[in-house]
């Protein structure tokens, strides 16, 4: 019967803080760049700086350690180069692979929309064997704009064809992007969010990836 048919959705994910915990590697890159200036940042600071792309990360980092923002031009290419191979301490969050398998098995199409640059994004996806799950990947340098501008998210959904649109992310930036795109937003609460869950606009929240397939099924059929 038609009413019992499952609806296949387009599910797009943020990457850092949503599917993977990459903060330890990012901290390592940051501290290597800062070392010659006698400065370091903590893991907690690293979490708080992630979300708006590399340039903003470096700007926040410089402010935190009381170095002039004029150093950004010098640090940016060094940071980006080191970032390309910074994968050794990055891992998927618990339950991610099983959730992706379940979503794939249910017929949902999947993509990535992240502010991470394309080269390190593909490097870490390949390193963690996650690349085959995603039919499209849109990064911070894929377009002339990046999140919270909704253009990359729209592009990701468009590349996936037809079906209800669901975005999965962990941060205030992701929430704003979903709002501006007018799509369902599922908030992973264990990532790099800086404010209380109640203050982050979302359709539903989850703290365990085992919950995600059921949430996708629910909102795919409700859209």
> Which pTM value belongs to this model?
0.93
Specify whether the CB–CB gap between 150 and 177 falls below 8 A.
yes
pLDDT of residue 222: 79
**∠ CA(198), CA(8), CA(5), 5° rounding?**
110
pLDDT of residue 27: 97
Backbone angles phi, psi at 81, to 5 degrees: -65, -45
149 is an active site residue: no
Q: Residue 169 forms beta bridges with which residues? A: 187
Q: How far apart are CA 186 and CA 160, in angstroms?
A: 18
Q: Map residue 55 onto helix, strand or coil.
A: helix
pLDDT band at 223 (very low <50, low <70, confident <90, very high): low
For the stretch 48-82, pLDDT in tens is 999 999 999 999 999 999 999 999 999 999 999 99
For the stretch 148-179, pLDDT in tens is 999 999 999 999 999 999 999 999 999 999 99
Q: Which helix (H) or strand (E) holds 73?
A: helix 72-83
pLDDT band at 36 (very low <50, low <70, confident <90, very high): very high
The active-site residue out of 14, 16, 21, 174 is 14
User: For residue 157, what are its two tokens?
Assistant: 């959904």
Question: What is the average per-residue pLDDT within 120-141?
Answer: 97
Question: What is the average per-residue pLDDT within 17-23?
Answer: 97
Domains and CATH numbers, the chain: 7-22+90-222 (3.40.50.1000), 23-83 (1.10.150)
């Amino acid at each position: 019967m038609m009413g019992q048919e499952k609806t296949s959705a387009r599910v797009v994910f943020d990457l850092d803080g949503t599917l993977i915990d990459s903060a330890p590697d990012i901290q390592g890159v940051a501290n290597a760049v800062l070392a010659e200036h006698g400065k370091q940042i903590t893991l907690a600071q690293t979490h708080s700086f992630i979300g708006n792309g590399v340039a903003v990360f470096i700007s926040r980092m410089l402010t935190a350690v009381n170095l002039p923002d004029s150093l950004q031009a010098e640090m940016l290419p060094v940071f980006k180069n080191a970032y390309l191979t910074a994968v050794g301490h990055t891992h998927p969050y618990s339950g991610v692979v099983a959730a992706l398998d379940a979503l794939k098995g249910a017929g949902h199409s999947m993509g990535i929309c992240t502010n991470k640059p394309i080269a390190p994004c593909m490097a870490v996806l390949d390193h963690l064997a996650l690349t085959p799950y995603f039919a499209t990947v849109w990064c911070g340098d894929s377009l002339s704009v990046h999140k919270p501008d909704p253009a990359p998210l729209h592009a990701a959904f468009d590349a996936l064809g037809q079906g209800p649109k669901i975005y999965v992310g962990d941060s205030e930036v992701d929430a704003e992007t979903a709002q501006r795109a007018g799509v369902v937003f599922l908030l992973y609460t264990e990532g790099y969010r800086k404010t209380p869950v109640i203050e982050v606009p979302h359709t539903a929240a989850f703290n365990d990836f085992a919950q995600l397939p059921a949430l996708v099924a629910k909102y795919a059929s409700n859209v």
